[in-house]
Amino acid sequence: MGLTNSSTGIRAVDSGLEIRRQTPEDRVVALAGNPNVGKSTVFNGLTGLNQHTGNWPGKTVASAQGFCATRRHSYVMVDIPGTYSLMAHSAEEEVARNFICFGEPDAVVVVCDATCLERNLNLVLQTMEISSRVLVCVNLLDEAKRKGIQIDLGALSARLGVPVVGAVARKKQSLGHLMSELDRLIDGKIETHPLQVRYLRPIEDAIGIMEPLLRERFGERINPRWLSLRLLDAEPSLMEELKIRLGKDPLGDSEISAAVLRARDALAVQGITDANIKDKIVSCLVLTAEDLCLDTVACERNGYNTFDRRIDRILTSRWAGYPIMLLLLALVFWLTITGANIPSQLLADLLFRFQDNLTGLFLRIGAPDWLHGMLVLGAYRVLAWVVSVMLPPMAIFFPLFTLLEDSGYLPRIAYNLDKPFKKCSACGKQALTMCMGFGCNAAGIVGCRIIDSPRERLIAMITNNFVPCNGRFPMLIAMISIFFAGAAGGAFASLLSALMLTGFILLGIFATFAVSKLLSVTVLKGVPSSFTLELPPYRRPQIGRVIVRSIFDRTLFVLGRAAAVAAPAGLLLWLLANMTVGGQSLLAHCAGFLDPFARLLGLDGVILTAFLLGLPANEIVLPIIIMSYLSQGSILELESLNELYALLSANGWTWVTAVSVMLFSLMHWPCSTTLITIRRETGSLKWAAVSFLIPTLTGFLLCFLFANTARLLF
Amino acid sequence: MNTNRSLRDMAPGQTATIRALLSTGSIRRRLLDIGLVENTEVECVGRSPCGDPSAFLIRGAVIAIRSEDCSSILICS
């Protein structure tokens, strides 16, 4: 649920190989590593930035850059997406490989997870084949220690031939050693002799045929041994990239292509073909890593400890798995609603009292009526609404959700829900992108990059909008507490609200499944693809950090965005409501025009207008509705949330209207940021249009059915 | 001993050794990347509530794999 400036699509564009140096002397350092080894934590620790972190593989899908300096050098750190390998099977791996290979970084820091070092060494070995300026950072030493894993860093460094430092990235001071070693590496004070993986004899012979020639042609730019291997397995995407980077096709050189042919022939004699050469290469890498670990890692117990096992047995059990998911969801909502109630009221009181002061001030300085109307009744009042309705729920919801995220529970949700997704020919990781959607749909769309199959990725993008983002949450909460929970009263009120909200979310999830299924039997036909999902060890969330980060990075960011849109929208609205044509305000014209159609959906013209005006940000739909009713002549002064009910029912709202509004809020067009993100991620206007139409039509249909059934029955 | 036993036949709690990898395409590479080569020891550590996918302990990491993919990973126990 990475909801920060950089992940909502505003700056999430892959900067690829474009490095922004502050000064020409800046050294460029790539941070590589397997997914979920704490790479982003190292990055944040070093640069002081706040790249979103969480305990699940695939959070960092775009490269991020940051600066840090030691006494000797200044560095540009590049956080590249986590990968298991550099053989480029997916978009992220391509980004990682291209950067390490062609981005000419001054050094590559490979961050490893001490609790499963063996698998991580595979990437280290591959990186060392490309670059000799490699520094290995063994992270999560504290967790390894708890699990009874001991790593002899000195011996590992001696075997690998590159510097190895230990770290506990959560504790910033442990990164000091990393930086001092990096300085020494850059200054050439450490000599590296990267361990060369020895492949099977026939492969080594084949390399021998090509390497001298390649050294002669490209020796200065690309490691010839690595290039020999790659020409043998001939990955198409790499061949393309080589053409671009080297300015010519290496296979276009007749001598080289002849050497490649000779090498292939020699391999074929030994029974190694195009079909199995990659296997042989990878096996050698894995076995080398295994061998390294035998000598350097002492493990008292198994990596997957009893504590994790016990928790997993409960959280993913046949009987308790789903109920616990539901319960957690409901609990989060209940805490949000209960906790937000009183602060919301207090904030509203405070802000509206201040509005009176503002009005007083305007009167005192003799400001004209229209100015007061525009600035105070227009801009300020909408702003006050947005703040008091949105701030408290978000300030509670985000930290709670971040706690779940940091603990490592989200991949378990994906694990539990994979079968239903498979039934819909989709991918279980879609559950992770939906979780991100709770924060912000645009972030959810970017997160869809963790899904490898393009077809399944598209399905996840198109359906992401069925999960209400934080911009729509407050609206849902407000509707429930005004129209439903109020009647129950007392302690039941918040419980009822939480249950209703959970019900609505489940409806959204159900819609996700239904539409996913529909898409995979129509326009996005296909069978579910293979997938692997890593279930990381549980980690104790850093509660203090979670609270601070989720307030600053998420809550205030979202609020800022809402305010930035809400204030001008309030202004525009005031103008629309006060500029008259033919005796009626523009707003009334617009609402009147939409009214007949809106009535069919159980809404009214004002509501539909508000949703349309809310395209830039869903946060402002409710404020627009309120403003419109207030400006339509009713003199009602809203000073507390309770009076909202009076205002809405005075404008003809019943519980049917409320449910219709909630349904429509759950299912209508995505906000403009999300649409732009979809357009960018898919590279096609068509899919952005589909993503606009599908939730909208679903919403129309559901609202129509609900409103008319309800009218008939009640 | 049944020679065609695959990862799919493992029940939670059982351990086995990888005999051959029949998967093809991108999943094959993915499996190799996470260290699932011949002679690797794996342990089945759990199953999703719906019975699929299952989770395996592979070289220190817990990885969930769908049953279709499991059936092309042969084991000897």
pLDDT of A60 above 90: no
pLDDT band at A392 (very low <50, low <70, confident <90, very high): confident
Note whether A657 and A651 are within 8 A (CB).
no
DSSP per-residue letters across A106-124: SEEEEEEEGGGHHHHHHHH
Can you list the domains of chain B with their CATH numbers?
A: 7-76 (2.30.30.90)
**Tell me: the pLDDT tens digits for A445-500?**
888 888 888 899 999 999 999 999 888 888 898 888 888 876 556 667 788 888 99
- Cα–Cα dist A574/A579, whole Å: 8
pLDDT, residue A152, reads 94
pLDDT, residue A372, reads 84
DSSP element (H, E) containing A250? none
**Tell me: the pLDDT tens digits for A68-82?**
888 889 999 988 888
Alpha helices (runs of H) in A454-580, residue ranges in sequence order: 454-463, 473-480, 486-488, 490-521, 543-549, 556-578
pLDDT of A9 above 80: no
Residue A687: closest CA among A703, A704, A670, A675:
A675
| A20 or A85, greater pLDDT | A85
**Tell me: the pLDDT tens digits for A305-318?**
788 888 999 999 98
pLDDT, residue A395, reads 84
- Cα–Cα dist A52/A3, whole Å: 8
pLDDT band at A380 (very low <50, low <70, confident <90, very high): confident
> In this structure, which topology does domain A27-186 adopt according to CATH?
Rossmann fold (3.40.50)
pLDDT, residue A1, reads 36
Residue of A287, A304, A307 to mutate for B, most B C-beta atoms under 10 A: A304
pLDDT, residue A640, reads 60
**Residue A576 Cα distances to A173, A374, A565, A585, A591, angstroms:** 57, 11, 16, 6, 11
B61 with A116: Cβ contact below 8 A: yes
Q: In chain A, what percentage of residues exceed pLDDT 70?
A: 91
Provide the mean pLDDT of chain A.
Answer: 85
Nearest CA in chain B to A87: B29
- Cα–Cα dist B15/B41, whole Å: 7
Count of residues for chain A?
714
Q: Which amino acid type is present at position A418?
A: D
Residue of A457, A535, A538, A539 to mutate for B, most B C-beta atoms under 10 A: A535
Extents of the domains making up chain A: 27-186, 201-271, 321-713
Q: Tally the C-alpha atoms within 13 A of residue B68's C-alpha that lie toward its C-beta.
A: 13
B29 with A87: Cβ contact below 8 A: yes
The A residues from 179 to 218 touching B (CB cutoff 8 Å) are none
Reported pTM: 0.85
Q: In chain B, what percentage of residues exceed pLDDT 90?
A: 57
Q: For residue B58, give how far its alpha carbon lies from the nearest alpha carbon of chain A (Å).
A: 9
Q: For residue B10, give how far its alpha carbon lies from the nearest alpha carbon of chain A (Å).
A: 17
CA-atom Rg of chain B in angstroms: 11
Among A8-17, A30-39, A552-561, the least confident range: A8-17
- Cα–Cα dist A97/A126, whole Å: 10
pLDDT band at A10 (very low <50, low <70, confident <90, very high): very low
Note whether A242 and A223 are within 8 A (CB).
no
Mean pLDDT computed over A176-192: 92
Q: In 3-state terms, what secondary structure has residue A144?
A: helix
Note whether A627 and A577 are within 8 A (CB).
yes
A119 with B68: Cβ contact below 8 A: no
Sole residue written with tokens 């991100």: A436
CA-atom Rg of chain A in angstroms: 29
Among A221-225, A609-613, A637-641, A650-654, the least confident range: A637-641
Q: For residue B55, give how far its alpha carbon lies from the nearest alpha carbon of chain A (Å).
A: 8
pLDDT of B29 above 90: no
Distance from chain centroid for Cα A590: 37
DSSP per-residue letters across A402-447: HHHHHHT-HHHHHHHHHHHHHHTT--TTHHHHHHHHHH-HHHHHHH
Cβ burial of B31 (10 Å; 0-12, 13-18, 19+) is: buried
**Residue B36 Cα distances to A320, A429, B73, angstroms:** 31, 21, 9
pLDDT of A638 above 70: no
Q: Which of A118, A321, A416 sits opposite B35 (nearest CB)?
A: A118
**Tell me: the pLDDT tens digits for B31-68?**
888 888 888 999 999 999 998 899 999 988 899 999 99
Residue A131: closest CA among A161, A100, A156:
A100
> Which two structure tokens, joined as six digits, stand for A264?
């292939």
- Cα–Cα dist A256/A232, whole Å: 12
DSSP per-residue letters across A29-82: EEEEESTTSSHHHHHHHHH-------SSTT---S-EEEEEE-SS-EEEEEEPPP
pLDDT of A8 above 70: no
pLDDT of A207 above 60: yes
